[in-house]
């Protein structure tokens, strides 16, 4: 399903052309995040008693490999990623310096799950059917909330001294891009391909199904070649002048194999990847987290409280693993969601990882828009509309500003002679509930005026 404008379609076509020109050959990037990252695509040995030969060759996560593909397509991407990293480190340094308390806001992320299957009859559910059931999808959303909220009494809880509640929640979207009620699940029969690969099929999947990635976390659930899943990292692209505004927005999300999406239900039969942590891990990347070993021997994941480690834990058990980095022997944090451990070993996001994810939600433009739009109680409207209340007002007046998408606008209070007595500006904002104080205003009639680049709406206000 496609939702978008003409310019969206044009830039998408451009992206496809770039993608097809780029070819698929691997190249060594200079990006330090990826130094030595071939480690991350080591073959994973899974439990032979419960998995097929095909599954035994699976690799936990294709995100690092996928990042190479994205950088081939977009020469600016490396710079954007490095810029985001620089900003993240700056924010963290300031936070430490100012000893800022944790912000307690709960961010709620609307999710759309696009099920891309080859079940011609359209039948839903069963143990081999890629057209997985609503219940299976619901079980995955539940796992995400247990893990990102470190919920007591669930697999997502831990007593690790550096373990933290990310204060991020996920829910299946209740409104589609046109504002209509939805289950947050879309289903698409696609028989031309038996499975999708990490190198170019993100574009194809996006053509089959996509909702705007600045309003939804898109998760495509289908059969994936070689990996359990992969994800696009966030960037700062459209905050930086001279860089493309919306690179890769159409493939922004996670692509997860249907046999590992959900917890011990339907198609989830594997004993190692039983419990929904493939998606917890991949969304960690969507929120800017790197693997705990920094994709290099003793590499840097830009988080100080995950112990430096020589590599991933790619086993079928939770056995302790030790690393010697900088001459010191330390225990690897195999419980971390950003390791490659079996699902049931994982239960930790650290405080440092939580800080990084929350900063990404505020710094990466698409992520920021998404949480802004999710937090407003007001929906989109085709035309600018305002609702002013209470009216008459004594002290504080509320102005509900509803508009299409994200726009910059001003909210002014004018006197009857047309003089501005109060003004506030909103840059690149969705529909917003604006609160204005009228304490300083003399009794009388005023005009509330809201102006965007192309529209202006006014309403009378009586101040008592
Ligand atoms: Zn990964």
Find out whether 369 and 214 touch, Cβ atoms under 8 Å.
yes
On whether both 363 and 434 belong to a single domain, the answer is no
- Domain of residue 158: give its range: 6-375
* Residue 327 sits in the same domain as residue 458: no
Nearest partner of 288 among 343, 233, 365, 225, judged by Cα: 233
Which of 375, 401, 422 is a domain's end point?
Answer: 375
Distance 128 CA to ligand 1 centre (A): 25
> Rounded to an integer, what distance in angstroms lies between the CA atom of residue 203 and that of residue 208?
9
Distance (Å) from CA 226 to ligand 1 centroid? 13
Angle between helix 63-73 and helix 6-22 axes, rounded to 10 deg: 100
354 and 453 share one domain = no
1 found inside a domain: no
Same domain, 371 and 307: yes
Question: From the CB of residue 321, how many other CB atoms can be counted at a distance below 10 Å?
Answer: 18
Q: Which residue positions in the chain have pLDDT lower than 70?
A: 1-57, 236-247
For residue 392, whether the previous peptide bond is cis, meaning omega lies within 30 degrees of 0, is yes
Range list of β-strands (E), 33-184: 107-117, 168-172
Is residue 451 domain-resident?
yes
Query: Do 10 and 151 reside in the same domain of the chain?
Result: yes
CATH code, 434: 2.60.40.3080
- Same domain for 45 and 166, yes or no, is yes
Looking at the structure of the chain, the number of domains it has is 2
CA of 278 from ligand 1 middle (Å) equals: 9
- For residues 270 and 400, state if they share a domain: no
Q: Identify the pLDDT of residue 60.
A: 83
**CATH number of the domain that residue 249 is part of:** 3.40.390.10
Same domain, 343 and 397: no
Name the nearest CA neighbour of 348 among 289, 272, 298, 274: 289
pLDDT per residue as tens digits for the range 85-129:
888 888 888 877 777 777 888 999 999 999 999 999 999 999 999
Kindly state the tokens that stand for 82: 């490095």
Question: What pLDDT score was predicted for residue 374?
Answer: 86
Domain end point (choices 307, 340, 375): 375
Domain assignment present for 380: no
341, 375, 409 — which closes off a domain? 375
* 33 Cα–ligand 1 center, Å: 13
**Which are the catalytic amino acids?**
282
Pairing of strands 185-189, 168-172: unpaired
Q: Is the pTM of this model over 0.75?
A: yes
């Amino acid at each position: 399903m496609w939702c978008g404008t003409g310019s969206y379609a044009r830039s998408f076509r451009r992206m496809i052309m770039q993608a097809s020109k780029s070819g698929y050959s691997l190249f060594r990037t200079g990006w330090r995040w990826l130094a030595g990252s071939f480690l991350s695509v080591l073959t994973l040995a899974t439990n032979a008693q419960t998995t097929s030969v095909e599954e035994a060759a699976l690799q936990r996560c294709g995100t690092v490999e996928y990042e190479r593909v994205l950088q081939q397509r977009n020469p600016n991407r490396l710079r954007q990623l490095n810029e985001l990293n620089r900003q993240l480190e700056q924010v963290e340094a300031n936070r430490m310096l100012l000893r800022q308390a944790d912000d307690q806001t709960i961010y709620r992320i609307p999710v759309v799950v696009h099920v891309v299957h080859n079940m011609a009859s359209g039948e839903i559910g069963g143990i081999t059917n890629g057209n997985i059931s609503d219940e299976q999808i619901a079980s995955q959303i539940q796992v995400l909330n247990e893990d990102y909220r470190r919920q007591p009494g669930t697999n997502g809880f831990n007593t690790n001294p550096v373990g933290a509640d990310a204060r991020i929640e996920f829910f299946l979207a209740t409104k589609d891009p046109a504002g209509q009620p939805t289950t947050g699940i879309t289903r698409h029969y696609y028989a031309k391909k038996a499975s999708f690969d990490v190198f170019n099929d993100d574009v194809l999947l996006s053509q089959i199904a996509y909702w705007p990635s600045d309003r939804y976390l898109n998760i495509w659930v289908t059969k994936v070649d070689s990996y359990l899943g992969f994800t696009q990292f966030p960037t700062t692209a459209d905050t930086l002048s001279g860089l493309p505004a919306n690179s890769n927005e159409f493939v922004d999300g996670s692509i997860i194999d249907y046999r590992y999406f959900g917890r011990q239900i339907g198609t989830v039969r594997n004993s190692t990847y039983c419990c929904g942590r493939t998606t917890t891990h991949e969304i960690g990347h969507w929120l800017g987290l790197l693997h705990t070993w920094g994709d290099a021997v003793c590499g840097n994941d830009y988080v100080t409280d995950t112990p430096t480690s020589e590599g991933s834990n790619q086993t079928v058990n939770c056995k302790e693993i030790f690393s010697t980095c900088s001459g010191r022997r330390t225990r690897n944090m195999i419980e971390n969601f950003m390791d490659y451990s079996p699902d049931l070993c994982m239960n930790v996001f650290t405080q440092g990882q939580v800080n990084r994810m929350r900063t990404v939600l505020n710094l990466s433009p698409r992520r920021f828009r998404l949480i802004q739009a999710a937090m407003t109680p007001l929906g989109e409207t085709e035309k600018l509309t305002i609702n002013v209340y209470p009216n008459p007002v004594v002290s504080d007046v509320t102005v509900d500003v509803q508009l299409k998408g994200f726009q910059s606008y001003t909210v002014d209070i004018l006197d009857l002679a047309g003089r501005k007595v109060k003004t506030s500006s909103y840059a690149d904002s969705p529909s917003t509930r604006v609160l204005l104080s009228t304490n300083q205003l003399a009794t009388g009639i005023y005009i509330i005026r809201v102006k965007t680049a192309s529209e202006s709406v006014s309403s009378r206000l009586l101040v008592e």
